Amino acid sequence: MAERVWDKFLTEQDKAHLAASPHHRIGFGKRPALLLVDFYRGVFGDKPEPLLEGIKTWPGSCGMVAWDSIPHLQAMLSAARDADMPIVHVTVVNDVTDGVDIWMATRTGSAQDLPKEEQEQRLRGWQIIDEVAPLPGEGVLRKTAASAFYGTPLAAHLNYLDVDTLIVLGESTSGCLRASVVDAAANRYRVIVVEECTFDRHEAPHAINLFDMDQKYADVLPLAEVVEWIAEWKAEKEKEAIHD
């Protein structure tokens, strides 16, 4: 595999240890689903802007890395939809009108205490962006904590669909994506993270968290490899349908 995003952050001892320790892949199962975590307006902003400009209007902005991910996200969605794969979108609960506390309240303040204009922006901020908006029939869940599993019916939904493999796209790599991946692994799913379909506002945490997930909880794979596997899975599924 080509150079990975985390390679430049590893020490010589890290590299020596990796070379001496065989890394076993988790691999894909037979019944995958696609999970998209937190592709909401607040991390993109209204237009492509560098991080330090974006945060002036949207404090949760991830800057250009968010916008740069959109073609990759669309490619993954297109591949999954073409293969008729189950898809679940997850965003944050509407804490403005629902009166539900979210874990970020300790940092951002309660939505109920904000001026009306800021409440309206916050409400819009949790909306999934149009570029990756759910289609009819795709699951949409809202969460109150970092993990897509905590306090949601996600596991029950996936179990109902008999899913054994979760292909995960999301942000931020060091936050909600990681929390969701760890919980997915704890729930005994095979977890695949698509590298180009993840991002974080800080480069080093992004890279090192991908590395850590790849070492412990998931296979972090390039987009092209995952899309190729989906095409093969679709072909195999169609072949089985012919013989049934």
Helix/strand/coil for 191? strand
Residue 79: count other Cβ atoms within 10 Å of its Cβ. 21
Peptide bond into 172 cis (omega under 30): yes
H-helix or E-strand containing 157?
Answer: helix 154-160
Q: Which of 139, 132, 128 is closest to 161 using CA atoms?
A: 139
Task: Give the orientation angle of helix 178-186 with respect to helix 203-216, to 10 degrees.
Answer: 10
| Cβ(169)–Cβ(73) below 8 Å | yes
Q: Which of 33, 80, 169, 176 is catalytic?
A: 176
Known active-site residue 176? yes
Q: Which residues pair with 166 in a beta bridge?
A: 33, 191
Task: Give the orientation angle of helix 64-82 with respect to helix 223-243, to 10 degrees.
Answer: 10
Helix/strand/coil for 87? strand
**Positions marked active-site:** 176
